[in-house]
Structure 1
């Protein structure tokens, strides 16, 4: 077999492959064997039909077609290996010349991972928000904790903001009550905004036994996105009572004995959260700067496929779950379809560039992933997916996604290398030493790499095989 590579552009090549007829013999033998197992000819046992009889009864052309379909993937893969190409996706294959007994000639056009020159990133400088926890932040955190331990008491008065009302709901569209538009004994805190638009105004001022109707756009169900007339019946009005903010509360809500100890712990936790947010922001800004410095050609087909995949997932998976259509989704987002498409393309381009750049950095810096790092990443991914580590690990193995997880960790480590070399200062002009937060930094950099590459760019495998001649 002979092959040659022609570069069409920085992200696409054309392979020209010539295969002597004798090298097709194993595939021809396999084709005769396959046909032998599938057909019956009177006078011959199944599987024992001579080749000449198959040619006479079914045509030599059918055998040759079967042989070529069997041989093409192997010769294509050999040509890719010979050309030392890092291909992306499926090739477009065209048989340019073939006659029985003569050599097979075919071409295969395929996208390739572009060659990328990683620039000097040591000069990158970014600014992030300073880590500042105010007394107001601490008090707000304590109030939220206090709110979780609130108790309710039934009161004989009209409902007001902050009260909990127990209601029955009945939604109608075009005068007909929806089968899935009925709900009973729903507890709702007035002012929380966690139910239908318009319900706060409808129930405020109602006492137990009171009713009202209001119009609201349904957020889910069979009539999602449509305006409905909603009847609400109040069966109970309850006043929320917050516990006193004292040492007794600290003992009730935490492992601490005093309110001051709880307050100090709240401040410490808020500082840790803001440090994590700061590290994440630093990595995102450093990544943006690195992308800006690096020239990365984008394979057109890869970008097109990624946009189509994202759009398909939105239409066929997310929309049905959320009860949305394109019209209601765009209205909710306050965008036109053109604006959405432009944003989607921008996100996809960034994701593909990120993956290419970080993968190149992994190779350049000779980064590897050990079992402990992979396990830690798997645990984080399992937690974010809502699955147990064992369930997630089983799904990863069965889906052949272990290399994908390894890639995510490696890209996270590559991004951490760049962040370490960059100068990061906060809005107070102080240098931010992310090395003090090694564990959080590693987790955040892996998350940033995952969000920007694996979710925004399609997975890339080894040389893809052509499916037909």
Structure 2
């Protein structure tokens, strides 16, 4: 086999592959064997039909077509490896020339990763918020904990701010009750903001059995984003009673004996959360600064696929779970379709660029992923997915997504390497020394969040080359005409 590579542009090549006929013999033998198992010919046992009879009854062209479709993936992969190409996606294959008994010539156009010149990244400097936990932060945290231990008592009075009410709701649009616009027995804390805008004003002052009507924009359902007339009936009014903030509460709500110990623990937890948020912010800002230093041509077909994937994930998965369609979502976001398209395209470009740059860093720094690192990452991903580690691991293995997880960890390590070389300063002018565990975990999260959705797993080494290319024109017609 001979192959030649022609560079069409920085992100696309054309392979020309020439295969001597004798190198097709294993595929021809396999084609006869496969056809033998599929056909029945009178006078011959199944699987024992001679090749000449198959040629006579079914045509030599059918055999050649089967043989070439079997051989193409191997010769394409060999050509990719010979050219040391980093291919992306499926190739467009065309059988340029083929006569029975003669050389097979085909071309394959495919996207490739562009060559990337990584900049010096040790001069990057970013500013992040300082980690500061105030007494007010601790008070708010304690109040949230206190609220979880509140008791409610039914009262015979008008509803007031902070009360818990049980409501029946009915939504009408253009005078018609929506099919999904009726809800009964909804428990709601007045002032929490967890229901429709205007509901607080409508129910405050109503006793059990009272009703009111107000107008509000629906947040979800079949009429999301539209204005509706809402009728609300109050069936129960309950008063929340909060426990006293004393040592007895500390013992009830935690493993601590005193409020002093509980407040100290709350402060420590808040500091940890803000330190993690600080690390995440640093990772994101360093990544953005790094991307600004690199110019990368993006493969057109890959960008098209990335945009398509992002739109599909949002419109058919995320919005569906929220009970929204695209028009309703855009109305809530106060965006036009043009603004939405531009936003998705910008995110897609950043995703591909992020993946290319971090993968290049992985190669340059010769970063590897240990079994322990992979296991820790798997545990975190399982926790965020709501699955047990065993269930998540099984799903990953069965879905062939282990290389994708390895890639996520490696890219996270690459980003952490850049952050370590960068200068991170907080808003007080103090240089920040990020916690190593927070830095690594945040780096993995930021790298995964910003990476390409369409090619996260596809671009792992060798995976694209192993996919079977499909010819634009089948060779059977040529073989029958010329053979």
Same fold (TM over 0.5): yes
Asked if 2 retains the 8 angstrom alpha-carbon contact of 1:408 and 1:454, the reply is no
Aligned equivalents of 2:468 and 2:53: distance in 1? 32
Aligned equivalents of 1:220 and 1:402: distance in 2? 36
Aligned equivalents of 1:295 and 1:217: distance in 2? 44
Asked if 2 retains the 8 angstrom alpha-carbon contact of 1:12 and 1:112, the reply is yes
Displacement of 1:212 in angstroms is 2.4
Map 1:273-284; keep pairs closer than 5 Å: 273-284=273-284
Aligned equivalents of 1:111 and 1:256: distance in 2? 60
Displacement of 1:315 in angstroms is 2.5
The DSSP-based 3-state class of the residue aligned with 1:18 is strand
Asked if 2 retains the 8 angstrom alpha-carbon contact of 1:163 and 1:238, the reply is yes
Displacement of 1:180 in angstroms is 4.1
Which residue in 1 is equivalent to 2:448?
Answer: 450
Displacement of 1:220 in angstroms is 3.8
Residue 136 (1) aligns with residue 145 (2): no
Aligned equivalents of 2:316 and 2:138: distance in 1? 43
Query: How does the TM-score come out when normalised to structure 2?
Result: 0.92
Which residue in 1 is equivalent to 2:32?
Answer: 32
**Number of aligned positions between the proteins:** 467
Asked if 2 retains the 8 angstrom alpha-carbon contact of 1:347 and 1:456, the reply is no
Aligned equivalents of 2:170 and 2:287: distance in 1? 50
User: Is 155-164 or 311-320 further displaced after alignment?
Assistant: 311-320
Which residue in 2 is equivalent to 1:154?
Answer: 154
The DSSP-based 3-state class of the residue aligned with 1:359 is helix
Aligned equivalents of 2:297 and 2:44: distance in 1? 59
Which residue in 1 is equivalent to 2:469?
Answer: 466
The DSSP-based 3-state class of the residue aligned with 1:236 is strand
Aligned equivalents of 1:97 and 1:457: distance in 2? 33
Which residue in 2 is equivalent to 1:52?
Answer: 52
Aligned equivalents of 2:227 and 2:125: distance in 1? 51
Aligned equivalents of 1:429 and 1:222: distance in 2? 51
Which residue in 1 is equivalent to 2:164?
Answer: 164
Map 1:242-391; keep pairs closer than 5 Å: 242-391=242-391
Asked if 1 retains the 8 angstrom alpha-carbon contact of 2:162 and 2:189, the reply is yes
Deviation per CA, 1:156-183: give whole Å up to 9, x if none.
2111221111122334455554554433
Displacement of 1:452 in angstroms is 1.3
Aligned equivalents of 2:95 and 2:395: distance in 1? 39
Displacement of 1:418 in angstroms is 0.9
Match of 1:440 among 433, 438, 446: 438
The DSSP-based 3-state class of the residue aligned with 1:205 is coil
Aligned equivalents of 2:148 and 2:83: distance in 1? 64
Asked if 2 retains the 8 angstrom alpha-carbon contact of 1:348 and 1:457, the reply is no
1:457–1:191 Cα change, 3 Å: farther
Q: Which runs of 5+ in 2 are unaligned?
A: 475-483
Query: How does the TM-score come out when normalised to structure 1?
Result: 0.95
Q: Which runs of 5+ in 1 are unaligned?
A: none
Which residue in 2 is equivalent to 1:412?
Answer: 412
Which residue in 2 is equivalent to 1:104?
Answer: 104
The root-mean-square deviation of aligned C-alpha atoms, in Å, is 1.8
Aligned equivalents of 1:351 and 1:164: distance in 2? 45
Runs of 4+ aligned residues of structure 1 deviating over 6 Å after TM superposition are none
